[in-house]
Every structure is written in structure tokens, then in C-alpha cells.
Amino acid sequence: MRTLDDLVAEGVRGRTVLVRSDLNVPLDGEKITDDGRIRASVPTIQTLRDAGARVVVMAHLGRPKPDQDNAKFSLAPVAARLGELVGTTVSLAEHGDGVAVAGLADGDVLLLENIRFDPRETSKDAGERDAFATELAALAGENGAFVSDGFGVVHREQASVYDIAQKLPAYAGGLVLSEVEVLRTLTGSPERPYAVVLGGSKVSDKLAVIEALLPTVDTLLVGGGMCFTFLAAQGLGVGSSLLEQDQVDTCRKLLESGKIVLPADVVVADAFAADANTKTVPVQEIEDGWLGLDIGPVAVSEFAEKIGAAKTIFWNGPMGVFEMAPFASGTRGVAQAIADGDAFSVVGGGDSAAAVRALGIAEDGFSHISTGGGASLEFLEGATLPGVAVLEGDA
């Protein structure tokens, strides 16, 4: 695939370059609570600025719906933070504001308002997406280009990700390129032992990646809400913990691999609340009316031992409800064990990346922190990512 370096080598001074970034950050009102994805987008934008391009950034925030008040999904706070990071004013413009684009000088940056405000962006109708992509491409003019740098959306066949890459000369941004290279290391010949740590709420959300990884990994450590369905598959009672009854038989079969390690103890509570009554119990002793909200200290120790022996680690999904202080120790312990080791370690985006920053774990302790949880998982499943395939000419 053609890369950002190729585009810069061709020359971009005076050209308008559309960049698809992933700026889908969590907000508390208008306050950004985790700017990791914005920071990850800066190097590509800055490279284009330094080369004299007129940069028009496309991004989404949340899931706005037609005919509703979507003010809370405005990218205005993102534009302000992006401007701080790149050291210039980043204006916010509507999608069809050709006047704003035409007014850009070399090195300027413009952010288009939430691209999903136009329902054609995510339409299942290829014709609708194509029409929207044509309008977006027109903003770049005859000598324009497109840079795909939003790894968190490359698994989506959407207008600003997939269709537009067929309208303009298309290039992989530095972020997308590095993400793909790292994940190909995991799916190629990773150094062994290879350990995968999976958490999160539901087995059903991770089933495809578990089935894809089990033949290739040496150890699969399972925590988070999903561990209770596995524990139920072992015949244990899980009280009021999250349980996907329809996945119990599947989990029982997966356990036959002998590679899955489950927590030995869990932190349980009598309510899903930060001020609930809590206690730590062996997994064989979860009482009715209590629900597991984190893995316990014995589990953290056992998981850390497996992590310490690994040479390659992939982690996706928290070990508990880390947003609540009483249930953050499991995620913190596992994350710190990964960060303290010398293995090639990849954090698979999403809540895992957010947890690293929220819990104050040094980011340089990990080899790579992905910006795309869903995209990372689909890549490891072996699925075709439309936004990558179109850059490789395989669409």
C-alpha cells in the first residue's frame, strides 16, 4: 500500500489532503476525559502540515441519530484539543463548507464536523455512501489526496473510510501503517511463549477471536465479566454475576484446549455500585445474591506469573469494573505486570487502553497501545478490514 511517506515524497505543498482520523474520545459534558486517540492522530497531521499541505480532517464522535438533537456529539471540544496539540487554530466546519476549505493556507488544519451527522456515512446502501464520498472528495479538488489514519474505523465499510479511498489517491497514514505492522507480528510468528489476556463483559463479544487465537497461543488468561460463563461451564455457581447461559456449552468445549486459565478468586459485591459491600472469595464460593466485579489478588498473582514468563503478550479487555475504585485492582495488577516485563506487548485498544491511562500505568511500559479495539480483534480473527483492503487494492 502507498504510505504517508510516499505522499510527502510526491509533494503536498499547496494541495488539500483529506485525513480520516479516529477522534472518537470519551466526553463528560464538553470535557474530554481521555485524549489518547487525539494524541495518536497528531504525528500524521503534523507531518502533512510541515510538508505544506492544507489538511482537512474527517472524524466521528459517538453514534448520532437522524432527526435528533445531536449537539452532544459535536467535535467542537476535539477541535480545541487538537489545536492545542498541533500548535495552531483548528477550525470546525460543516461537511459541505467548500468556502472554509478554499480559505485554507499551506499548513492550516480544518476539522469537519462529526462525519456521522450525515446518515450516508454509515449507510448500508453503497450508492448513498458513494454519493457522500464524492462530495467529500470534491473538497480536496483535482490535485487532492486521501490519507487513512483512523485505525479504529478501518473495519467499517463507511464513506469516509472505504468509499473515498476509491475517489482520490489514497495512502496509509503512519498510525494505520504501524497498527497493521504490529498486528501482523502477532498473526505471523510471534516469539513464544505467547500469552493472550482477555477481559470485558461478554464471551459472545470475544468468541470469534478466542476461537481464532486458541490454536496459536500458549496461554489464554480470561478475566472480566466473561470469566463467569467459563466458570459456570466448569459447574460452578456464579451467584448474580454476569452469565451468558447460551454460551456455557461453547465455553465448556473451549476449555478442552487446556490453554485457558481462569481466575482462582474474585471480588464480589452485593450491588453494582462503588459503595456496595464487597469481599474476596475463591471462585468456588460465590454466594447467591453476590456478583463478581473484579478478579482477586490470587488471580492477579497467578496471571502475573504467566505474563512474566511470556515473550509476546496481547491484552484486550479489563479484568473488572475498573472505573469503580473497589474493582480496579485486578486490571491495575495485570496491566502493571505486562508493563513491568520485557515481552513484546500489545494493548488492544478500547477499554484496555483507557484503563492504562486512567489507572496511571506508564504507557512506555507497553510495546504498542492500539487505538482500535474492534479493529484489532477483527484483524486477529483473520477478518478482512475494508479500510485496509481498499488501500492495498483488494477492495
DSSP string, 61-108: -S---TTS--GGG-SHHHHHHHHHHHTS-EEEE-TT-HHHHHTPPTT-
- Catalytic residue of the set 15, 37, 54, 306: 37
Specify the pTM. Answer: 0.89
pLDDT tens readout for residues 76-93: 999 999 999 999 999 999
pLDDT recorded at residue 66: 81
- Catalytic residue of the set 2, 39, 202, 357: 202
- Catalytic residue of the set 239, 333, 350, 387: 350
Q: How distant, in Å, are the alpha carbons of 161, 164, 307, 309, 369 from that of 339? A: 33, 38, 10, 13, 11
Is 152 annotated as belonging to a binding site? no
Q: Catalytic residue at 37?
A: yes
Q: Catalytic residue at 350?
A: yes
Q: Is the pLDDT of residue 395 over 70?
A: no
Is 37 annotated as belonging to a binding site? yes
Mean pLDDT of 324-347: 96
Mean pLDDT, the chain, whole residue set:
95
| Core vs surface per residue 129-158: b (16+ CB within 10 A) or e | bbebbebbbebbeeebbbbbbbbbbbbbbb
291 pairs with which residues across the strands?
269
Is 316 annotated as belonging to a binding site? no
Mean pLDDT of 334-351: 93
pLDDT tens readout for residues 110-169: 999 999 999 999 999 999 999 999 999 999 999 999 999 999 999 999 999 999 999 999
pLDDT recorded at residue 144: 97
Is 352 annotated as belonging to a binding site? yes
Is 311 annotated as belonging to a binding site? no
pLDDT tens readout for residues 213-243: 999 999 999 999 999 999 999 999 999 999 9
Whose grid coordinates read 504525528?
43
Q: Which of 116, 12, 139, 107 is nearest to 63 (CA)?
A: 116
Range in 204-208, 303-307, 316-320 the model is least confident about: 204-208
| Cα 204 to Cα 182: distance, rounded to the nearest angstrom | 25
pLDDT recorded at residue 210: 94
Q: Catalytic residue at 167?
A: no
pLDDT tens readout for residues 32-85: 999 999 999 999 999 999 999 999 999 999 999 887 888 899 999 999 999 999
